[in-house]
């Protein structure tokens, strides 16, 4: 048998077809140029609108009204308290007309009638006067109770009136806090954008070139008894250098 020589070393090159190679070269160039241009810029203008004139005026009117509301609420509370005090001016105003009528009309009429009947100072006069006084006292008591009942019915509105200033100031404060928070959120968004912009640009560059089949160069050497060994370089480094003009094929 004749002798045979060992297989020679071979190099196999797989590369994109010319149109694809041109497109990939242009894509890499544009991607690199976009990355070198720097990260995207955040919108430079104001991102939170100023509070309008009507909004600010409404807030100030609300704050001004809070003082008036407080005064009205306190007055209503005082009136409510007076209704439950029989000695207060409010209660006296209810019963004084009845007492005046008793003293100025009813009792003198009873005395005049007793004189005409010749029984002035007698038991009959005394009984009539006592009955009139008791009736007047009963009517006065009922009037005070009705006044107190009305006060009880108004209790809810009085309590609401006392809380009106707090609600007004709280509503204005909520508007102001919301606006302040919007300013903070805008600053935070701008800060986060600026922090992430370089990484975002790098990720965009990487996403454009990753996953693309750039081809490969395989070197196969043959030797006696040693078997075959392959060394493969692929990706955007050695392969790209060899495929796009950096090395021979």
- The 10 Å Cβ neighbour count of residue 45 is 5
* The pLDDT value given to residue 54: 74
Say if residue 51's pLDDT is above 60: yes
How far apart are the C-alpha atoms of 161 and 167, rounded to whole Å? 10
Say if residue 233's pLDDT is above 80: no
Say if residue 244's pLDDT is above 50: no
* The pLDDT value given to residue 3: 52
How far apart are the C-alpha atoms of 151 and 157, rounded to whole Å? 10
Give per-residue pLDDT as tens, 107-142. Answer: 888 888 877 777 777 778 788 888 888 888 888 888
Query: Measured in Å, how far apart are the chain's first and last C-alpha atoms?
Result: 37
Q: What value does the CA radius of gyration of the chain take, rounded to a whole number of Å?
A: 51
Q: Please give the C-alpha separations between residue 70 and each of 65, 74, 82, 152, in angstroms, as whole numbers.
A: 8, 6, 18, 20
In the structure, what pLDDT confidence band is assigned to residue 177 with cuts at 50, 70 and 90?
Answer: confident
How far apart are the C-alpha atoms of 194 and 40, rounded to whole Å? 9
> What is the dihedral sign for C-alpha 148, 150, 155, 158?
negative
How far apart are the C-alpha atoms of 231 and 220, rounded to whole Å? 7
């Amino acid at each position: 048998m004749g002798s045979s020589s060992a297989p020679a070393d071979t190099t196999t090159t797989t590369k994109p077809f010319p149109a694809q190679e041109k497109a990939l070269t242009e894509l890499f160039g544009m991607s690199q140029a976009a990355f070198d241009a720097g990260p995207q810029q955040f919108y430079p203008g104001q991102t939170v609108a100023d509070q309008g004139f009507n909004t600010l005026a409404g807030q100030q009117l609300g704050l001004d009204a809070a003082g008036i509301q407080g005064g009205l609420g306190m007055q209503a509370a005082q009136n409510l308290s007076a209704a439950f005090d029989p000695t207060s001016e409010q209660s006296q105003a209810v019963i004084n007309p009845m007492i005046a009528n008793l003293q100025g009309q009813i009792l003198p009429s009873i005395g005049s009638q007793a004189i005409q009947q010749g029984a002035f100072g007698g038991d009959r006069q005394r009984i009539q006067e006592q009955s009139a006084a008791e009736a007047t006292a009963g009517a006065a008591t009922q009037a005070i109770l009705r006044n107190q009942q009305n006060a009880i019915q108004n209790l809810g509105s009085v309590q609401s009136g006392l809380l009106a200033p707090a609600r007004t100031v709280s509503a204005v404060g909520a508007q102001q806090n919301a606006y302040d928070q919007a300013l903070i959120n805008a600053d935070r968004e701008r800060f986060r954008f600026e922090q992430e912009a370089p990484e975002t640009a790098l990720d965009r560059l990487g996403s454009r070139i990753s996953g693309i089949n750039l081809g490969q160069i395989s070197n196969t050497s043959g030797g006696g008894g040693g078997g075959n060994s392959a060394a493969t370089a692929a990706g955007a480094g050695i392969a790209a250098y060899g495929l796009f003009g950096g090395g021979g094929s």
